[in-house]
Amino acid sequence: MRRILVIRLGALGDFAQSFAPFAAIRDHHRHDSVTLLTTAPFVELARASPWFDDVRVDARAPWRNLRAVMAMRALLRQYDFIYDLQTSGRTTRYFHLSGHRAWSGIAPGAQAPHDNPQRKAMHNRARQRDQLRRAGIAEVPDADISWLSGYGPRLPGPYVLLVPGTSAAHPVKRWPVERFAGLATRLWAGGLRPVVIGSRADAPLAATIVAACDATVDMTGRTSLLDLGGVAARAVAAVGNDTGPMHLAAVMGTPSVVLFSRAGDPALSAPLGRTPGQVRALWAQDLATLHIDRVAAALR
C-alpha cells in the first residue's frame, strides 16, 4: 500500500471545485492510503468526506520558523506520491522540501509536471482535470456528494439562499446590499423565503436585508461548512457574489446565479455546477450598475 498526499489549502471556492479531483484520486488509489494536507477551516469537512484516510493541518507557518519548516519537511517525506492541487508558490516550495520527484504540480523537476502552456487561461476545473490526466488519472467525473446533503438545520421552505458577502479584501466583488434587500422582498412576495448565509462578519449585511424583509432567515455565522452543504442542497436556488459559499452551492446541485464584477472572470472561475444551465453567471464592470430586474430574471 502506497502513501499518497493531496495538498489543497483553500480557499472555500477552490476547495469545493476540488471535490471531483479528490474523488478521482481516491478512486485511482483505492488500495492506497490517501491523506489530505489542508488548513484548519476545512478539516471537519474533509474528515467527514469519503475521500481521505487521514487529514493533516498546515498552519502555513512563516518560512523563518525553522522548526515548523523542518516539521513540514519530515511530513512530506513520509509519502510515496504527492498531488499538489494548490499549485501556489508556497506549495511549490514544498516540492523542494519533499526531497523527491514523485509529485504532480507546477514545480520544475516534478515527475508529473502540469506544464501546459495554456494553464493560466484554463478554467479552474479544466486545469485540475488536465493536471490529473498528466499524472495518469484519465477520468475526473463529478463527485458523489450525497454524503453531504443531510447536514445542517431544516429551514422553513421553499427558500432561496442569499450570499451578500465576500472577503473584506475585495469589496468591489459585492453587489450592493440594498439590491439584495430588494431581491429578498421580491422573493418573499413570490412565495420564496430568503435565507442569508455567510460568516459572522456578514451579520450587518444580513441585518439590512432582514430590515427590508422580516421573513428573511439570518443564518450568518451559524453554519459550519458541513451545515452549509446540506442547507444549500435543500434550497430551491442561490444568489450571491463570487465567493466560496456559491461554489459550494453549485457543487451541491443548487440552481445558482453568481454575480461577477471586473475583479473576476467567469470564464476562468465561475462555478460550473452539475448539469447544463444550473449556474448562471452575471457580469458587470461595476456591480452597482447591475439592476435587480436582471438578477430576478436570471432566477426564473
3-state SS record for 42-62:
HHHHHHHCCCCCEEEECCCCC
Amino acid code (one letter) for 187: L
Report the domain count for the chain.
2
Residue 261, classed as helix, strand or coil, is coil
Residue 184, classed as helix, strand or coil, is helix
Q: Say yes or no: 16 and 111 in one domain.
A: yes
Q: Say yes or no: 39 and 121 in one domain.
A: yes
Residue 67, classed as helix, strand or coil, is helix
Give the chain's residues under pLDDT 70.
none
- pLDDT for 168 equals 83
- pLDDT for 300 equals 87
- pLDDT for 236 equals 98
CA atoms within 13 A on the CB side of 193: 15
Task: Indicate the residue among 114, 143, 172 that finishes a domain.
Answer: 143
Identify any residues that bridge with 256 across adjacent strands, giving them in sequence order: 238, 279
70-83 tens-digit pLDDT: 999 999 999 999 99
Phi, psi of 169 (to 5 degrees): -75, -10
Q: Say yes or no: 49 and 7 in one domain.
A: yes
Q: Say yes or no: 281 and 236 in one domain.
A: yes
- Count of C-beta atoms within a 10 Å radius of residue 200: 9
Structural domain containing residue 214 = 152-297
Q: Say yes or no: 191 and 238 in one domain.
A: yes
Q: Say yes or no: 6 and 39 in one domain.
A: yes
Q: Say yes or no: 291 and 224 in one domain.
A: yes
Cell digits for 39? 488548513
Task: Indicate the residue among 119, 143, 167 that finishes a domain.
Answer: 143
Q: Say yes or no: 139 and 213 in one domain.
A: no
Helices (H), the chain: 12-16, 19-28, 43-48, 66-76, 89-98, 124-134, 177-189, 203-212, 225-233, 244-251, 266-269, 292-299
Task: List the one residue out of 165, 148, 127, 110 whose CA is nearest residue 272.
Answer: 127
131-156 tens-digit pLDDT: 999 999 999 999 999 999 999 999 99
Q: Say yes or no: 112 and 33 in one domain.
A: yes
Q: Using an 8 Å Cβ cutoff, are 142 and 276 in contact?
A: no
Q: Say yes or no: 56 and 133 in one domain.
A: yes
pTM of the predicted model, to two decimals?
0.96
Task: Indicate the residue among 87, 113, 143 that finishes a domain.
Answer: 143
Q: Say yes or no: 121 and 232 in one domain.
A: no
The CATH number of residue 62's host domain is 3.40.50.2000
- pLDDT for 63 equals 97
Cell digits for 230? 446540506
Q: Say yes or no: 157 and 139 in one domain.
A: no
